[in-house]
Amino acid sequence: MTKKKIYCFFCLTFLLFLVHTESVLAANEWLKPGTTVSCGNIKNIPSKVPELSSSLLSAVQVIVPIILVIMGTIDLVKGIMSQKEDEMKKGRTALVKRITMGLVVFLIIALVKLLVNVVVANDTVRGSIVSCIDCFINNSCN
């Protein structure tokens, strides 16, 4: 296998360990009648679905920037180890670009969460699509 494939394999394995896994029998918990929420005008949504979506969004908000910074640092170290001025310059630009991309990912998700919170706070109709989006982004279902 190439180094990229090995790196991707280890990253995916690491991400799988971060996700809390439950047994297959726990899927029945999702279908219990008492554990449902309503989202806008939609009724009987299992409560685990909004929890999972908000958890995944929060994980993406944190994990993606960290991975991008680590990859940029690896590029910079490769450039420094090669002791070529051109490679060092490429490593620095790659690090700056990846830090910028990580900040953009983090800030976009934070801004979306903030905007949804502001709109929901001013929302007079609780059965609207905005409250449904809030349910899945912030896990604030009624």
- Interval 57-106: pLDDT, tens: 989 998 999 999 899 889 888 888 988 888 889 888 989 999 999 999 99
The pLDDT, as a whole number, for residue 100 is: 92
Contact indicator for 109, 61 with CB cutoff of 8 Å: yes
Strands (E), the chain: 36-39, 42-46
Neighbours of 124 (CB within 10 A): 5
Residue whose C-alpha is closest to residue 113's, from 139, 91, 75, 90: 139
- Interval 28-43: pLDDT, tens: 555 555 577 777 667 7
Regarding predicted confidence, which is higher, 17 or 101? 101
Query: What residue spans define the domains of the chain?
Result: 3-138
> Please, which pLDDT band fits residue 135 given cuts at 50, 70 and 90?
confident
Contact indicator for 141, 37 with CB cutoff of 8 Å: yes
What's the one-letter identity of residue 52?
L
pTM of the predicted structure, to 2 decimals: 0.66
What is the distance between the alpha carbons of residues 16 and 99, in angstroms, rounded to a whole number?
Answer: 24
Statement: residue 27 has pLDDT above 60: no
